[in-house]
Amino acid sequence: MVSSLSYPLQTCKLRSAILGERSGICISSVPVTHVGFMRSNIECKESRIGKQPIEVPKNVTITLEGQSLRVKGPLGELSQIYPREVKVEKQESGYLKVNKALETRRANQMHGLFRTLTDNMVVGVSKGFEKRLQLVGVGYRATLEGRDLVLSLGFSHPVRMAIPEGIQVKVEDNTRIIISGYDKSAIGQFAASVRKWRPPEPYKGKGVRYVDEVVRLKEGKSAKKK
């Protein structure tokens, strides 16, 4: 959309400082152009993760009711409510497919996210997930007392943490903690809560860390003096 505005000719009488006379100076009109851009709908690309189908094992039962999905397997049962930007379809081949219901930026973001959440539900109730923690430090140890995890982390008192429902915790050699279950988000949250009590310090690496975690150590002051 292009529109132009033109200003009319104007004649003004100016007194010349050099000639000392009046002269008529014509100022020509200069067209001013305003350029407008037409806004068009841009189709969002489909997520590479979101477009992948989800394989459902034979020992997993899927119940789909509108925007609500319930997954039941040998390890437990999980449910998820989906936003209006995405929809879940159960194919005849037994696979689950998460599709976009709208062509918006938010729908493109939700597409890959809820496909991953759906896959975690299917894998969780059929195979399960686990997180492993390692206690590093003199006197650091962990024990189980019923449904409580008791940690000795150098405080004046032991740290007692209640284990949530649906999560199993094992302790090996008093320094290794194995957290397992069918809800991946709950496992990650509980493992992060345990690590939060004593994160690895940067000089000697003492604290609670994940087994596969890489802790970068800093150089101490005594080492710098040498």
| Local structure of 212: helix, strand or coil | coil
Name the residue type at position 105: R
What is the DSSP code string of 132-195? EEEEESTT-EEEEETTEEEEESSSSS-EEEEPPTTEEEEEETTTEEEEEES-HHHHHHHHHHHH
Quote the percentage of the chain above a pLDDT of 90.
65
Name the residue type at position 41: N
Q: What is the pLDDT of residue 5?
A: 46
- Kindly report, residue by residue over 125-138, the tens digit of the pLDDT: 999 999 999 999 99
Distance, CA of 95 to CA of 107 (rounded, Å): 21
Q: Which residues contact 69 (CB under 8 A, 6 or more apart)?
A: 62, 63, 79, 80, 81, 82, 88, 118, 121
Structure tokens at 153: 């982390």
Q: Which residues pair with 65 in a beta bridge?
A: 68
CATH of domain 129-210: 3.90.930.12
Q: What is the pLDDT of residue 17?
A: 45
- Closest by CA position to 68, among listed 49, 86, 95: 86
Within 13 Å, how many C-alpha atoms sit on residue 175's CB side?
Answer: 11
Per-residue pLDDT of the chain (226 residues; tens, 9 = 90+): 444 444 444 444 444 444 444 545 555 554 555 555 555 554 556 678 888 999 999 999 999 998 999 999 999 999 999 999 999 998 888 899 999 988 888 999 899 999 999 999 999 999 999 999 999 999 999 999 999 999 999 999 999 999 999 999 999 999 999 999 999 999 999 999 999 999 999 999 999 999 999 999 988 776 555 5
Distance, CA of 142 to CA of 154 (rounded, Å): 12
Q: What are the respective helix, strand and coil percentages of the chain, to the nearest 5?
A: 20, 35, 45
Global confidence as pTM: 0.74
Structure tokens at 179: 């957290």
- Closest by CA position to 187, among listed 211, 216, 161, 165: 165
Domains 54-127 and 129-210 share a fold: yes
Residue 154 in contact with residue 113, Cβ under 8 Å? Answer: no
DSSP class of residue 117 equals H
Domain ranges of the chain: 54-127, 129-210
**CATH topology classification for 54-127:** Outer Surface Protein A; domain 3 (3.90.930)
